[in-house]
Structure 1
Amino acid sequence: MSDKIKIGISIGDLNGIGLEVIIKTLMDAKIMDYCTPIVYGHTKVASLHHKTMEIDELNFNVINDALEAHHKRPNMINCWEEDVQIELGQANANGGKYAFISLERALDDLIAGKTDALVTAPINKHTIQNENFQFAGHTEYIQSKTNSEDSLMFLVSEDIRVGVVTGHIPVSEIPEKITKEKILSKLNLMNQSLKKDFWIQKPKIAVLGLNPHAGDNGLIGNEELETIIPAIAEANAQGIFAFGPYAADGFFAAHTYAQFDAVLAMYHDQGLIPFKQIAFHTGVNFTAGLPVVRTSPDHGTGYDIAGKNSASASSFREALFTAIKIVERRRESVELASNPLKLSKFSKDRD
């Protein structure tokens, strides 16, 4: 049996650009040198997307179980049998229904150990809602399915890494969700991930303020004085190199983020807007703090360009390779932990 990394891929919304960027990525045969891709969807749906893209059809190896995957070809598990109506560019119930079927099957295989990582194509957070998916997004659903106490939405690229304290919640609820305990939990997850998943021995983390000008010493809000600064102090006491709070606007405008290994933002848009501005085509959404590896591109369903063969596969390709790298690092860490002699040599090489 090959020890090549198996990457499960959920197809996201059928009516969006998910399958387009998946197909464009897997058209490169060199991908199979690095991993064994397994797409959870249906070949008929893939064929329709091939036609709209006006490219030669990608020859999927159809399998019934992830354990049957061919290690030199892209694989497809047909997750349903019925014909599906696809309306490219439309947000509808079909898009949500089959996005969930794909995601659930792929995640079940990941949790069962049949695959090594999961790359998720974009979903519509509204149409995917059903009795089994009542979550704000992928991150919350996967955290629940893996019985994890907490997780970190961690946007990563070569130039910048940004995590958020609060994710997919209304802006009106953000202040009450910003607690010392929550900030500490996210800082711990970020610090652990930087060490384990990115092999940064002594990570430096910048923490942003919640209010404009980071509260201006209490003039524009007290969250910095009462919550964020005490959380940073406690993190430092625990051995985490956390600094701040920084005013978000000047922090990104002055490229101060380049001095740190990662940035912890207080809420979704505070972190994701600058991240996407800096790394839109190469950014990856990684869910840190889980026992499994899950990544996704940092863009949405792209309804406005669906079916036009104009979607860039760069972010999806980066998500795939990021998942591979993290699995490799975690495997290597386990091997180093079990081999003291190799660990000693590794530490000397890193000094």
Structure 2
Amino acid sequence: SSFRKAILPIGAAIGGMVVPAAIYLIFNFNAATEHGWGIPMATDIAFAIGVLSFFGDRVPVGLKVFLVALAIVDDLGAVLVIAIFYTSAISYMDLLHAILFFLVLVGGNYLGIRKAWFYALIGIGGVWLAFFFSGVHPTIAGILTAFTIPGKVKIKEEDYLKNLQKLHLQFLEATPIKGNFISEKQLSILEEIKQKSDDAETPLQKIEHHLAPIVGFFILPLFALVNTGIHIHGNLVEILSHPISLGIGFGLLVGKFTGILGVSWLLVKFKLAELQEGISWRHLSGVAMIAGIGFTMSLFITELAFQKEEYTFIAKLSILFASVLAGVIGAIILRLYGRTESTTKPAMNN
């Protein structure tokens, strides 16, 4: 809602991407494994929010908002990194087609087209396919398409309620007919109620609402299951001391923590941003550690970064270990803070 509120999670997310990538490069600079620098940059938004949700009301709502905003910016950054740095040969003609389809969607938004099928059909059949054939990774197509879907209501809440009340009275006054059917007048009123209700919703939220259970309960678990595929074997100490493991482990556990917390502190110190009411630096340190859960996006980037099966195996195992550790340590930090708060809370006067 304001620059000072938005700049904190945005800046923290950027710090949480740059520092882990730099740490990975320290361990793998000029090596065959150097291309994996993007792996520790990503935060798994679903797992991070899942860990934070265990605390319920014991953590302030502002902290959850901060983590969601940070993870979204982080995801956007990861997708841009994939599109720019983990892309094969580019077909500029197909890329031009993608831009043209994108402009059609922008035009549809400008002209007031609010039908979900319009954005789904051109977004998938046009933008996504064109990006797919262009060589640029099509994950960016989803974000571009989402930007074009209308995010504003067509009718204000107070106007909607007035119309609903008026139509409700008209329906009651309409003469019913005998039998199982309703009268033409009643049918006309119900259709108008549907239209007004449709105008009171934003197409963007409507699509998100319908996609949420499909993504949460089917796509995301399937994605994680397929992309993990870890068969643990060999000397674990040797594997986890490999430059790939050290880069990913320190990147997710140390890089994320110091990047997020460090940039946040600098922004607040120079009065460019401010902590929301109820959020302390202890809260922020717990969230900074939880953001080290890189699971699904990190696994995805691993598949793009390495062709050698050995490197992929080491990276996946490191992601798994580091993500579990980040979640556990972050949860402990937040839990200890809750205990401190409860023990130091002053007693209420009678």
Structure 1 and Structure 2 fold alike (TM over 0.5): no
More helix by share: 2
Q: Greater relative contact order (Cα 8 A, min sep 6): structure 1 or 2?
A: 2
Q: TM-score range by the shorter chain?
A: under 0.3
Q: TM-score, normalised by structure 2?
A: 0.24
Bigger Rg, which one: 2
Q: TM-score, normalised by structure 1?
A: 0.24
